Structure formats: structure tokens, C-alpha cells
Chain A
């Protein structure tokens, strides 16, 4: 595996920090899509009986990842006279040149055993965060959101008791993500509190962040430090 990291800055008045990170993995191991893996089971004999043994089948594929991050401080003086806002954006792109999205026999999955997590040739992640502090750090609001578009997913057709699994290309609107809103409080040197709401959404409960889509939460944390 080889990696690269580059950082640069746009001078004042923009003051943007840019970061590029890239990694090349010549042979990352993926689990194969089970419908494809079961196509050619190995038959073994044990105690006089014959069993179909479905071995854990895998593929080794070349994977290229890169991520571009941007940090942008900016002022909205009417809203916050004393501190700037900080906007952080991240875009990640993963490319697996050896994959063909609709090639059922070659399909691989992110999570072994979960066929719904089929890996696409191109996968993207977009994350954004916005934060600032008010009243010299007493209040710290933060908004974070992320989205993972999904371009390839599985599709099931049932003909009686027969299930036919196939891969299907989706539009970029499909995918999963989260949105989080939090407000932190500082009370003196010892007490810290935070109230937050995390919302998850997604097309499929077993794909990406869609796995958490029924697990929205509101939490309140309080900390006393000595």
C-alpha cells in the first residue's frame, strides 16, 4: 500500500486550507457476493453423507482512494462578532478498476455475508461540518452532515419459491447519510454539557449508513471534570 498527503493554503483573505490524501492498495481482499459464490459449491463427503460446502470466496482487487478536504474559516459579524465560523468539507472517491458494476459473477461486498453491501466501481462520500463558538466558548454549536451515494445495489425477483438475485444500477439519488446537530455548553472549568440530535437515513437498512436508519437519537451528556 502506498499513500500520499499534500497540504496547501490559500492566503488571506480567503485563508482556505486544502488537503489531498490518496492511497493505492494493489490487492485489497473483498468477500464475494454470495449469490455468485454459491454458483459453484464444493461438494464434500463426511460421515458417508454429501454436503455442499460453500467456502468463503474472496477476490483481491486494486483499490485507489483519494480524498479532498477543505477548511474555510469565515466571518458573519452580525451573527457572531467575536469568532469566525469554520466550514469543513470532505469529498472521498474510491475507484476499483477491476470491477464491473453489473457483473454478477465478479461482484464483491463490503461486509461478508451481507449481499446488500455490494461494492460499486466508483464509490463517493461527502461530509460537511459547520461550527463556531459564542460568548468566549460558553456555547459551541455544530452541524455535521454526510452522504454516501449508491450507484449499484442488489435486486430480488421472486417467482414462486425461487428467488432471482441480480444487480441493478440506481440513480445517484439513492444512498445513505446522516445529519447531526449539537450544542455544547461550558459551565466554568469543571462542567461540560452537550445536547445533540443525530438523524440517519438511507435506502437500504443494510447498506452504508442506512444500517442505522432506525436508530436516530437525541442525547444529552454531562461531564464533571476534576
Chain B
């Protein structure tokens, strides 16, 4: 009941029990959205594609604008340019893996406070739970959502305050093998031989390009298949050596920004690290075909006529979502988690997370984390490119914005691209 009280505006529909073992033999790219998703609610009366919602008329959208996003519109001048709903589907390889593998996936009973034991067994590749029945299953779908087997992101990070605008900026290149194991798109399938043998699930290298005192600062991050702590190596040019460190620990910010490590892509920790509750299904406005012009002039996406710097010019469409509430398990006196709870709006077709809202430990609304994706240049082969991310601190009226110059997936990264040796080789 507490969770529902915190979401007074949202029209939640209970998840109807569907058989987990529903036959998937006829699942295809074409019927993916119809089979696994659900239809979004129709446009409320008085609004539709092409219109712009702001503080004066956003009430027309009613429950399609959840808590947090409403404050962003009312206090900080966000304007929503509306676009029609368009279904999404993954690659043929991901669909095939889902078709063949989903029936083998099983939830393993674990202690609710246990955040070290993997809660699912039998997973090979694809979407683990085509008909998710509870919060953990949606969280697993989110963790293994189709985002390509690897990615390269060249992005600007902008620190913005309501009063002073952009006051700090950095530029990074981030190369990640998202799927060391459970690959669906790029050979070898399903696992990369070397890293996969070490139980590594994900490995990435990020290198700073700007400003000068951060140039060539580099970090290697490794995430394991089991819900262990992530491990990183940071190369510091001033010391000319790399240091091993725990990285991406729950509750820690990315690079002094408003984005926690676990906020990246909505949620980037292990599902076992939170206690999840599936609150229901809903339709919200979200930028899943955002239309952001990537490239060197990507900052233009922040320039609009309306007041305030927190106003990205993206397209918002009605999306069917699972509403997922999470409470951090990794919360101790020695290392208290800053979030009391979070609500994730998980797209029911892609299982990407366009919107996340976080409350602090005292139950006060704190952050809105928005991710936007552009339309895929080749939907049967390439996932939609991440085109914008914003972590907005509603209490301090400040945000960190991530704007990609280049955002591409399935680029064919090799194991040798994410090693300590490569980290050192990137040094000047």
C-alpha cells in the first residue's frame, strides 16, 4: 500500500497471471511486441502526436506523466513534444535465443536478504522471462534486455545547475562488451572464450578525452556473472600506473556526477542487489524514439526557447511499461545506501528503462533519471542507440547530462580491447 500511495497519479493495472511456460514456437521479430508486450493506453482526449506539453497543459496527459516527471515539467520547464507510439523488437538472434531458451529459466529460492546468491538458474540467452510474473523476473528481463553484445559510446558529460547552466564538462569514450556471456548477435555464441571462462559477464574501458587534466584517465570495469562486487582498474597518468579498486559499488556516484553507477541505463547493478516489487503495468510518456541528432553538435538538443537548462528536445511517445519498485539490500551502517527506494518504468517491449525515480532514505522525492534512445538504423541487427541520459536532482535543482556524439552497438569488440594491457596502452 505504501508504494501505491507514492504513485497517486499513475494508472496501474495489475499483472495478470500468465503461464510462464507459454509456448513461444511462433515468436518472431514481427510479432515480438504483440506477443510479449501489451498495447499502450490510447491518447487521452485533447492531446496527440505533434503537440507540446508543458506546465500549462500537462494535466491533459493525466496518468501518462508519473510523479517526478511532473515536477520536472512544473518547476524546471520541461516541455514534451509528443510523437506516436511505435512498437520495438530485438534482433533475430535475440528472438531465437528467447524462443529456444526461456522455458529453461528458473527462479532459485533464496533468502530475501541475500544479495550474493544468483537468483536465477538455467539462463542461456535472450529474454529470461517472456511473461514476467513478479519484480525479480522483470528485473532479470531488464538486466538481460537486448542492447547488443557490445557498444561504443563517445559522449559529453555536462554538469548543470539551474542558476548557472553548464559549469563543468568532460568527454569520454566508453567501450563495453555487454555480453561476454549470453551473446545473441556477434560470434562466438553464446560466450566469449577467455573472459567467459573467468565468469565475467561484462567488461568495459572508459577513457577521458577532455579536459586536459583528466585526459587519458582511464578505467577498466569488470562485472561478474554472479552478483559479486564489480572490480575496476583505474589508470592515473600522474602516477603512470593502474590501481585496482572496487568500482560501481551501490550508492556511489559516477565521477562526482548526479548519476550513481547503478543508475546507468536505469539500473546497471545485479538484480539480486535490490528487493523488487512489481507494482503493475501502466502507460507513460517516454523517449524511446527520441530523434536526438547525434554528433559534434549534440549539445543543441538542450537548447530550447523555454526557460531552464534541463529541457532536452526529444520526442515522447506513449509506452507500455512495467512499474517496478526497488529497495536496496546493500545498505549497512558502514556503507549506507543513499536511496530509500526507487521506481523504475521498464519498457514492456524492449525492457529498457527510460525513466527512474528515486526517493531518499527519509522518503523525500530526490532524483529523476531519464534515458532516451533513438530509432535503430537497422532494427533487425542493431539495437536502438542510446541518445541521451539525464540524472536530475530535484532537491538541488541540478543535473548531469550525458550526450553521445557517437552511440553504436555490435561493433565487434575483442577480448583484448578490455584488458589491463589495453588500459596501460591507452596512456600517453
A positions within 8 Å CB-CB of B: 7, 9, 11-15, 17, 19, 71, 73-75, 77, 81-84, 133, 136-137, 186, 188-190, 192, 223, 225-226
B249 touches A12 (CB 8 A): yes
A136 touches B256 (CB 8 A): yes
Partner pick for A81 among B212, B231, B249, B338, CB 8 A cutoff:
B338
Total residue contacts A-B, CB cutoff 8 A:
64
Report the Cα distance A71→B231, complex, angstroms: 14
B168 touches A188 (CB 8 A): yes
Whether a CB of chain A sits under 8 angstroms from the CB of B213 is yes
Interface residue tally of chain B, by bracket? 20 to 34
Report the Cα distance A83→B335, complex, angstroms: 11
A sample of 5 more A-B contacts (CB under 8 A), given A71-B243, A189-B210, is: A73-B246, A75-B336, A77-B336, A136-B256, A225-B211
Q: Which of B203-250 contact A (CB under 8 A)?
A: 210-213, 228-229, 231, 243-246, 249-250
B167 touches A74 (CB 8 A): no
B159 touches A11 (CB 8 A): no
Report the Cα distance A226→B252, complex, angstroms: 30
Chain B nearest Cβ from A20, distance in angstroms: 12
Which B residues lie within 8 Å of A186 (CB)? 168
A17 touches B246 (CB 8 A): yes
B335 touches A75 (CB 8 A): yes
- Closest residue on chain A to residue B164 by CB atoms: A188
Q: Which of B296-339 contact A (CB under 8 A)?
A: 330, 332, 334-336, 338
Whether a CB of chain A sits under 8 angstroms from the CB of B257 is yes
Whether a CB of chain A sits under 8 angstroms from the CB of B169 is yes
- Closest residue on chain B to residue A18 by CB atoms: B244
- Closest residue on chain B to residue A223 by CB atoms: B213
Q: A136-B159, A189-B168, A189-B169 are in contact. Are A12 and B211 (CB under 8 A)?
A: no
Q: A9-B229, A75-B335, A137-B168 are in contact. Are A15 and B246 (CB under 8 A)?
A: yes
Whether a CB of chain A sits under 8 angstroms from the CB of B20 is no
Which 9 residue pairs across A and B have the least CB separation, nearest first? A225-B212, A137-B256, A13-B332, A13-B335, A13-B334, A136-B256, A15-B246, A189-B211, A7-B244
A13 touches B211 (CB 8 A): no
Partner pick for B334 among A9, A11, A74, A226, CB 8 A cutoff:
A74
* A-B residue pairs in contact (CB < 8 Å), sample of 7: A9-B231, A75-B336, A188-B167, A189-B168, A190-B211, A225-B211, A226-B212
Q: A77-B336, A189-B169 are in contact. Are A12 and B246 (CB under 8 A)?
A: yes
Whether a CB of chain A sits under 8 angstroms from the CB of B117 is no
- Closest residue on chain A to residue B211 by CB atoms: A189
B323-366 to A contact mask, C-beta < 8 Å, 1/0:
00000001010111010000000000000000000000000000
B253 touches A82 (CB 8 A): yes
Report the Cα distance A146→B244, complex, angstroms: 22
Report the Cα distance A75→B210, complex, angstroms: 29
Which B residues lie within 8 Å of A75 (CB)? 334-336
Q: A13-B330, A75-B336 are in contact. Are A136 and B168 (CB under 8 A)?
A: yes
- Closest residue on chain A to residue B335 by CB atoms: A13
Report the Cα distance A81→B231, complex, angstroms: 23
Which A residues lie within 8 Å of B332 (CB)? 13
Which A residues lie within 8 Å of B334 (CB)? 13-14, 74-75
Report the Cα distance A212→B256, complex, angstroms: 36
A83 touches B253 (CB 8 A): yes
Report the Cα distance A84→B337, complex, angstroms: 11
Which B residues lie within 8 Å of A19 (CB)? 244
Q: A11-B228, A12-B250, A137-B168 are in contact. Are A225 and B213 (CB under 8 A)?
A: yes
Partner pick for A11 among B210, B229, B258, CB 8 A cutoff:
B229
Chain B nearest Cβ from A130, distance in angstroms: 16
Chain B nearest Cβ from A122, distance in angstroms: 27
Q: Which of B163-212 contact A (CB under 8 A)?
A: 167-169, 210-212
Report the Cα distance A82→B253, complex, angstroms: 7
Q: A73-B246, A83-B256, A133-B256 are in contact. Are A15 and B212 (CB under 8 A)?
A: no
A15 touches B167 (CB 8 A): no
- Closest residue on chain B to residue A82 by CB atoms: B253
- Closest residue on chain B to residue A136 by CB atoms: B256
